[in-house]
Amino acid sequence: DAKTTQPTSMDCAEGRAANLPCNHSTISGNEYVYWYRQIHSQGPQYIIHGLKNNETNEMASLIITEDRKSSTLILPHATLRDTAVYYCIVRDKYNFNKFYFGSGTKLNVKP
Amino acid sequence: ETGVTQTPRHLVMGMTNKKSLKCEQHLGHNAMYWYKQSAKKPLELMFVYNFKEQTENNSVPSRFSPECPNSSHLFLHLHTLQPEDSALYLCASSPSGRSSNYGYTFGSGTRLTVV
């Protein structure tokens, strides 16, 4: 599996953009990058995913570098309710039914 | 509500008890999963079912026994657990298939405490 590396924690001021980085330097050509988040003691929630192009939905934007070795999740206007652990996951190419979760980034949105 | 329902939300059991966790989804998904999340640890994949057949057992001790009677229901039967088995147990579902486009939908989890 392509491993991902994320910072342990980040702070963000309420109303500002939160930019969460992820390194996945061993990603292979057909593997997607997924982002999930987990608010304390709840199940992870899907945010967004992408392959090569940048993606945007109502929750966030995903920027993938041209070499696909890293990506950034952007929450354009962070709120206190966005405080959570954010997981960057690369989908296993040969075992398509598995998502492996790392330690993620704890985002603290502060007033 | 995500469409994946787990019951009970909280469970306290003794080490000699037998209990079961239930997961139900009506999203039309054919793959279901059990994950375990211990305190301050990443989620650990335990079992994978595709079309009611177990396709993955991630070296889980036999005191955890999964059951998938149909594509909408998944159980985790528990017996003679240890205090270190206390954790948040999460169920997820997804469409089954080789497309890399499918994500998982998670339930809210069962918080299990073994005393």
B30-60 pLDDT, tens digit each? 999 999 999 878 899 999 999 999 998 989 9
Contact with chain A for residue B43, Cβ under 8 A: yes
Q: Which chain B residue's Cα is nearest to A106? A: B40
B106 vs A41, A44, A93: nearest CB: A44
CB contact under 8 A, B33 and A97: yes
Positions of chain A with pLDDT lower than 70, given as ranges: 1-2, 92-97
pLDDT band of B102, cuts 50, 70, 90: low
Contact A101 B94 (CB under 8 A): no
Look up residue A72 and give its two tokens.
């950034």
Tokens matching residue A82:
């966005």
Residue B28 region by backbone torsions, left for phi larger than 0, else alpha for psi between -120 and 50, else beta: left
Looking only at Cα atoms, what is the longest distance across chain B?
Answer: 43
∠ Cα A91 A97 A99 (to 5°)? 45
Tell me the nearest-neighbour CA distance from B47 into chain A, angstroms.
10
Tell me the mean pLDDT in the region B72-91: 96
